[in-house]
């Protein structure tokens, strides 16, 4: 009998073994899920207090862009009670009774004394900014500085001892890594979504001038702009900026500005109020398969210098048209956008080492980067795209001035060279013509007295499809329309 009991005990234990093992496995899997859930809960508790809801208010505009407050009503007789009862409120009163246009977005605190990082497009041209904290407190905010090229802005509220978020290293992100997006989609405050890093270094999307986006499938919707993208350590590794969508809502593809780029811009704005960028001074284009084949190149990697801007740091360092940049500071250069970003994010005056392929020979060039002046540089590059070279009349020799029939005090800049086949050549411009003005629009024509005037004025042209120059030749002056490709 005792032997039978022992047999049944062993049999019962052996029979339960699979069930026990399955139970242990399910408990282990549940434990892993629970730990993952706890990680997201911990991030929410840590980060959400530092996320801010931003309201941007704009003054209602009249038909011609004037603020309605500045318009005088032609319906003064409506102030009479009889007319008010019969016709109703005056048209202007109806407009003023409508609410102010309001946009909303997200941001996050980066210091205990009220500095907030957000997107430039969230606060752009706002008349009144309101920052609403997670605990419901509201503050009027002011813009400290912004950078449209990266879509970054810094605003500030007057308060102390605020919870703020810390930055992580976006360069160390891995594809597939868990990330959390926090923001205010559709004005729903402090919404948290979870996803992974889908890709890094997304460029050429047409969202901003300087692009190096993190792509994520964490749900990002309208209103998330400016909010943080956070890693499992609770650190900000990106600033949510845009979504790729055919419906305007979430479709699984969102983009965030890397934290390293955002922090670089933010630090400059908080220190000086502006962003200073380095400047190389070349017009570049990628090398595609067809170009490489046509030029008998053995490689498609690198960046082709199509033109060197006159008097730029690149010009002074000896770079030439047709050079191919294949290395920067000891690293291979493969992507034009990444190269442009690295130069733009460098400090003005920084020394860089370029490796150049010039007529099948490798050339090492060390140079110092200049400082990017948006107006002067943009204008100088614009002049080259027109296909002309210009000079101040005052810089010409006395003999040259007399032969051309000018006086040393003549205003304008003289065209010294017109590139064959250029937009300027097609428009009919020729050497020794004098540019005396630029037409910005039919109501605004600016006089030109120097090359600096020409550069800065060209950079103001809103429509880069056409340029209208006022040009004098001999005793005649006429308008030349230059069409750009």
Which pLDDT does position 2 carry in this prediction?
Answer: 54
277-314 pLDDT, tens per residue?
A: 888 888 787 877 777 777 777 666 788 888 787 788 99
196-222 pLDDT, tens per residue?
A: 999 888 876 767 777 788 999 888 877
Which pLDDT does position 41 carry in this prediction?
Answer: 83
Q: Are residues 254 and 307 in the same domain?
A: no
What is the rounded CA–CA span in Å between residue 408 and residue 395? 9
Does some domain include residue 294? yes
Does some domain include residue 24? no
Q: Is the pLDDT of residue 105 over 70?
A: yes
CATH assignment of the domain containing 363 = 2.30.42.10
Q: Are residues 328 and 394 in the same domain?
A: no
Q: pLDDT-based confidence at 101, cuts 50/70/90?
A: low
Which pLDDT does position 306 carry in this prediction?
Answer: 80
- Tell me which residue of 78, 155, 64 sits closest to 109, measured CA to CA: 155
428-437 pLDDT, tens per residue?
A: 999 889 999 9
Last residue of a domain, one of 218, 249, 272: 272
Does some domain include residue 82? yes
- How many percent of the chain have pLDDT more than 70? 75
Last residue of a domain, one of 347, 371, 395: 371
What is the rounded CA–CA span in Å between residue 175 and residue 216? 9
Q: Is the pLDDT of residue 69 over 70?
A: no
Which pLDDT does position 46 carry in this prediction?
Answer: 87
Q: Are residues 392 and 415 in the same domain?
A: yes
336-353 pLDDT, tens per residue?
A: 878 888 888 888 889 999
Does some domain include residue 472? yes
Q: Is the pLDDT of residue 381 over 70?
A: no
Q: Is the pLDDT of residue 259 over 50?
A: yes
**Are 108 and 54 in contact, with CB atoms under 8 Å apart?**
no
Q: Are residues 63 and 86 in the same domain?
A: yes
Does some domain include residue 69? yes
Q: Are residues 383 and 454 in the same domain?
A: yes
Which pLDDT does position 153 carry in this prediction?
Answer: 93
Q: Is the pLDDT of residue 63 over 60?
A: no
Q: Are residues 177 and 141 in the same domain?
A: no
Where on the phi/psi map is residue 457: left (φ > 0), alpha (ψ -120 to 50), or beta? alpha
Which pLDDT does position 79 carry in this prediction?
Answer: 45
Last residue of a domain, one of 328, 343, 371: 371
What is the rounded CA–CA span in Å between residue 207 and residue 172? 24
Would you state the structure tokens that stand for residue 374, as one six-digit string?
């948006």
Which pLDDT does position 28 carry in this prediction?
Answer: 62
Q: Are residues 122 and 91 in the same domain?
A: yes
Does some domain include residue 39? no
What is the rounded CA–CA span in Å between residue 77 and residue 428? 59
Q: Are residues 323 and 283 in the same domain?
A: yes
**Are 100 and 60 in contact, with CB atoms under 8 Å apart?**
yes
Radius of gyration of the chain (CA): 31
Q: Are residues 395 and 363 in the same domain?
A: no
Active-site residue set: 121, 151, 225
Which pLDDT does position 175 carry in this prediction?
Answer: 93
Q: pLDDT-based confidence at 475, cuts 50/70/90?
A: confident
Q: Are residues 211 and 303 in the same domain?
A: no
Does some domain include residue 423? yes
Which pLDDT does position 377 carry in this prediction?
Answer: 52
Q: Are residues 64 and 116 in the same domain?
A: yes
Residues making up the chain, counted from first to last:
485
Residue 209 structural domain: 170-272
Which pLDDT does position 445 carry in this prediction?
Answer: 85
Q: Name the helix (H) or strand (E) containing 15.
A: helix 2-47
Question: What are the residue ranges of helices labelled H in 309-432?
Answer: 313-317, 336-344, 374-386, 398-403, 423-427
CATH assignment of the domain containing 62 = 2.40.10.10
Number of domains within the chain: 4
Mean pLDDT (the chain) is 78
Q: What is the pTM of this model?
A: 0.65
- Burial class of 459 by CB neighbour count within 10 A (0 to 12, 13 to 18, 19+): middle
Q: Are residues 112 and 198 in the same domain?
A: no
């Amino acid at each position: 009998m005792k032997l039978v009991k022992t047999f049944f005990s062993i049999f019962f234990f052996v029979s339960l073994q699979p069930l026990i093992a399955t139970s242990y496995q399910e408990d282990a899997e549940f434990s892993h899920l629970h730990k993952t859930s706890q990680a997201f809960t911990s991030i929410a508790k840590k980060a959400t207090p530092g996320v801010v809801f931003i309201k941007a208010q704009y003054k209602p505009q009249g038909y011609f862009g004037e603020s309605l407050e500045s318009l005088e009503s032609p319906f003064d007789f409506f102030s009479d009670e009889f007319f008010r009862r019969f016709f109703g409120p005056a048209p202007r009163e109806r407009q003023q009774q409508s609410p102010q246009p309001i946009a909303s977005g997200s941001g996050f605190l980066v210091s205990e004394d009220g500095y907030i990082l957000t997107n430039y497009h969230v606060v752009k041209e706002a008349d009144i900014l309101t920052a609403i904290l997670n605990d419901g407190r509201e503050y009027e905010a002011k813009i400290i500085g912004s950078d449209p090229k990266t879509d970054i802005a810094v605003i500030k509220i007057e308060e102390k001892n605020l919870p703020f978020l810390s930055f992580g290293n976006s360069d160390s992100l891995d594809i597939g890594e868990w990330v959390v997006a926090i923001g205010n989609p559709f004005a729903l405050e402090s919404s948290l979504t979870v996803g992974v890093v889908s890709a890094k270094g997304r460029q050429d999307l047409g969202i901003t001038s300087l692009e190096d986006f993190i792509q994520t499938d964490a749900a990002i919707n309208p209103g998330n702009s400016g909010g943080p993208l956070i890693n499992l350590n609770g650190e900000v590794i990106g600033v949510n900026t845009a979504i790729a969508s055919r419906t305007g809502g979430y479709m699984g593809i969102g983009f965030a500005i890397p934290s390293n780029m955002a922090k670089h811009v933010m630090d400059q704005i908080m220190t000086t109020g502006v962003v200073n960028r380095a400047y190389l001074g070349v017009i570049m284009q990628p090398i595609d398969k067809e170009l490489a084949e046509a030029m008998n190149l053995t490689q498609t990697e690198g960046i082709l210098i199509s033109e060197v801007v006159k008097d730029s740091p690149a010009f002074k360092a000896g770079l030439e048209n047709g050079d191919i940049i294949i290395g920067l500071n000891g690293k291979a250069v493969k992507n034009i956008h990444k190269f442009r970003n690295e130069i733009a994010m460098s400090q003005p005056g920084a020394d860089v080492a370029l490796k150049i392929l010039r007529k099948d020979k490798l050339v090492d060039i060390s140079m110092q980067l200049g400082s990017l002046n948006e107006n002067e540089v943009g204008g100088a590059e614009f002049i080259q795209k027109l296909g002309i070279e210009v000079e101040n009349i005052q810089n010409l020799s006395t003999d040259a001035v007399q032969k051309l029939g000018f006086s040393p005090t003549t205003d304008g800049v003289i065209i010294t060279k017109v590139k064959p086949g250029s937009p300027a050549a097609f428009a009919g411009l020729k050497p020794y013509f004098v540019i005396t003005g630029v037409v910005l629009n039919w109501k605004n024509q600016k006089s030109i007295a120097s090359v600096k005037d020409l550069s800065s004025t060209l950079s103001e042209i809103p429509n880069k499809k056409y340029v209208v120059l006022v040009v004098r030749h001999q005793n005649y002056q006429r308008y030349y329309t230059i069409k750009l490709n």
